Amino acid sequence: MTKLHIPWEDRPADSTEVVWRCSRNPVIPRNLIPTANSIFNSAAVPFQNGFAGVFRVDNRKREMSLHRGFSTDGYSWQIDHDPINWSFPSQELSAFSYRYDPRVTWIEDRYYISWCNGYHGPTIGLGWTADFQTFHFLENALLPFNRNGVLFPRRIKNRYVLLNRPSDNGHTPFGDIFLSQSPDMIHWGEHRFVMGATRGWESTKIGAGPTPIETKEGWLLFYHGVLTSCNGFVYSFGAALLDLDEPWKVIARGEPYLLSPQENYECVGDVPNVVFPCSALHEPDTGRIALYYGAADTVTALAFTTEQFVLDFLREY
């Protein structure tokens, strides 16, 4: 089998950035499929000889749903025009309110999907697929109100671990990252505080981004942070390193952001000034990382970095 290559561009010669943007951004336009108002905050994973993804599509009725997609190169995507057709464990879970901001994580033998699920308010929905053909809905992991549920890619001390961010029912003006643990993906407890909003770009609230990446030094976590300006929220993202065995312990956390909304497609759209990462493709042998992020709640963009660049950045700050 030929080796799968993740999307990649070297850092431009004149750049000193730790994270740099893809020259083809935005890689997914808002109107890639005819039913879409916007396609953003979405998750891609390696699948067979290419990539598969779960996409946040806000349709032209402005309903927020999850759609399936495939790609051979990680840049050009074929996204289903209709939302994922879930199989439900119970009729009570099937009522549609909204489903958005998916993350996808391979654990053991299947892809788990976590998202913000409308169930009498936002909470963390979970599901899984093995083949991207049938999609199985699981019980909500937590009670409302919660957002930004992100699974670790393996059990830690025999527990599945889920980062999450307790919130309110609206445009929450606060928010710290916690984690919850489970023996079976159904029952969640042993909740721990991980880290809170601090200052500057992450002074209002923070939330986990892509599935954490395991490195020798700890779990590498990209997360978004929000600043409240006189013009509204500004979403940037940065990085932290969590302890491998007790991932609620923060080993390092970068003070500056890694990427903030500065390009036109990040500053202009349905919600201006948003960069919001939901997935990271990682090549262990090269350390390359390709981050998919939603821009201005409208389009999907790519940015690049390496494990080493981010670990060096975290050591410096």
Nearer to ligand BMA, 148 or 182 (CB): 148
Q: Which of 160, 297, 311, 314 binds ligand BMA (CB under 6 A)?
A: 297
Q: Binding to ligand BMA (CB under 6 A): which residues in 92-111?
A: 100-101
Establish if 58 lies at the interface with ligand BMA (CB under 6 A).
no
In angstroms, what is the minimal distance from the CB of 166 to ligand BMA? 13
Shortest distance in whole angstroms from residue 224 CB to ligand BMA = 8
Nearest distance in Å: CB 274, ligand BMA: 5
DSSP class of residue 24 equals T
In the block, residue with structure tokens 């010669």 = 13
In three-state form (DSSP H/G/I as H, E/B as E, the rest C), the secondary structure along 50-88 is: EEEEEEEEEECCCCEEEEEEEECCCCCCEECCCCCCEEC
Q: How far is the CB of 294 from ligand BMA (least distance, A)?
A: 6
Nearer to ligand BMA, 41 or 306 (CB): 41
Q: Decide: is 41 part of the binding site for ligand BMA (CB under 6 A).
A: yes
Q: Which residue among 274, 281, 299, 310 contacts ligand BMA (CB under 6 A)?
A: 274
Q: Is 236 in the site for ligand BMA (CB under 6 A)?
A: no
Q: How many CA atoms lie within 13 A of 275 on its CB side?
A: 28
Least separation in angstroms between residue 156's CB and ligand BMA is: 27
Does 235 bind ligand BMA (CB under 6 A)? Our answer is: yes
**Segment near ligand BMA (CB under 6 A); pick from 4-12, 183-191, 240-248, 268-276:** 268-276
165 to 194: interface string for ligand BMA, x by CB under 6 A: ------------------------------
Instruction: Give the sign of the dihedral formed by CA 65, CA 66, CA 67, CA 69.
Output: positive
For the record, the structure tokens of 85 come out as 């057709």
Q: What would the DSSP string read from start to end of 172-205?
A: -S---EEEEEESSSS--EEEEEEE---SGGGSSE
Rounded Cα distance, 222 and 174, in Å: 19
How many residues touch ligand BMA under the rule CB under 6 A: the total is 9
Using the rule CB under 6 A, give the single segment among 11-19, 76-84, 255-263, 269-277 that binds ligand BMA: 269-277
Measured in degrees and rounded to the nearest 5, phi and psi for residue 22 equal -75, 135
- Any idea which residue has 């200052």 for tokens? 199
Q: Is 222 in the site for ligand BMA (CB under 6 A)?
A: no
Closest CB to ligand BMA: residue number: 271
Contact between 276 and ligand BMA per CB under 6 A? yes
Collect all residues with Cβ–Cβ distance below 8 Å to 113 and sequence separation of at least 6: 43, 54, 66, 102, 103, 104, 105, 126, 127, 128, 129, 135
- Give yes or no for a contact between 166 and 175, defined as CB atoms under 8 angstroms apart: yes
SS3 308: helix
Contacts with ligand BMA, residue ranges (CB under 6 A): 41, 100-101, 235, 271, 274, 276, 294, 297
